[in-house]
Amino acid sequence: MACDATFNKQQGVVILCTDSFTAAEVDLLRSILLSKFHIHSTRVAHCKAKEQYTIAKESMATLQSLVGPHMPPTMRYRLGL
């Protein structure tokens, strides 16, 4: 995730770049994040042919606490840390 995600400061959310995934694969990943980790996300059209998804703002603290300790310090900015 460290190289395929970015933190959007204006919205306070992480954007996961899932451009190479199908909509069904993105939905599967979203459902796993929700059921196993209680992380809410939304699928967003990035451009005409691409979709990405964002981690909902209310789930950011959960994501940061789960993933942050495992990320190299130089990459933690991608989680807004």
The pLDDT of residue 52 is 61
**Does residue 6 carry a pLDDT above 70?**
yes
Angle at which helices 23-37 and 60-67 pack, to 10 degrees?
A: 80
Domain 5-79 architecture: Roll (3.10)
> What six digits make up the tokens of 56?
């909902």
Domain ranges of the chain: 5-79
18: nearest Cα among 36, 32, 6: 6
Tell me the average pLDDT across 19-39: 87
The residues, ordered by sequence, that sit 6+ positions from 19 with a Cβ below 8 Å of its Cβ are 46, 50, 51, 52
pTM of the model: 0.73
Residue 34: band (very low, low, confident or very high) from pLDDT cuts 50, 70, 90: very high
Residue type, 44: V
- pLDDT value of position 31: 93
Output the CA angle 74-66-26, nearest 5 degrees: 95
